[in-house]
């Protein structure tokens, strides 16, 4: 709470919500990625190197996740700084 005479600190609110198309892509891409992973696993299970390929898939999905989250965080920080400069 702000003390008497102090203004409250404004909370960050995005200037523009995420476009609907981007939200739809996000909700569709996740299950599709799992479907592709399941299909690859089904094909690979007939081979002896299934564990190695499974580990590579898990590592690749981890790297993609880290990359996407890093980009989203950077975009969020840019938007926060823009909001702070104009507000």
| pLDDT tens per residue, range 53-70 | 777 888 888 888 888 888
Q: Does residue 11 lie in a domain region? A: no
The CA distance from 2 to 11, in Å, is: 13
Q: Does residue 3 lie in a domain region? A: no
Q: What are phi and psi of 28, to 5 degrees?
A: -90, -35
Q: Does residue 17 lie in a domain region? A: no
In the numeric block, which tokens belong to residue 78? 């840019």
- Summarize the confidence of residues 64-81 as an average pLDDT: 87
Q: Does residue 73 lie in a domain region? A: yes
Q: Does residue 44 lie in a domain region? A: yes
pLDDT tens readout for residues 11-53 = 777 777 778 888 788 778 877 887 788 777 777 777 666 667 7
Domain count, the chain: 1
Q: Is 37 exposed, middle or buried (0-12, 13-18, 19+ CB in 10 A)?
A: middle
Q: Does residue 65 lie in a domain region? A: yes
Q: Does residue 68 lie in a domain region? A: yes
Residue 12, C-beta contacts closer than 8 angstroms, at least 6 positions apart: 80, 83
Q: Does residue 15 lie in a domain region? A: no
């Amino acid at each position: 709470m702000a003390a008497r005479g102090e203004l409250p600190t404004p909370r960050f609110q995005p200037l523009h919500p995420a476009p609907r198309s981007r939200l739809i892509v996000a909700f569709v891409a996740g299950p599709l990625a799992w479907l592709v992973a399941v299909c690859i696993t089904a094909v690979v299970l007939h081979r002896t190197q299934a564990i190695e390929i499974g580990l590579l898939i898990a590592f690749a999905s981890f790297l993609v996740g880290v990359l996407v989250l890093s980009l989203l965080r950077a975009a969020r920080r840019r938007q926060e700084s823009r909001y702070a400069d104009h507000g």
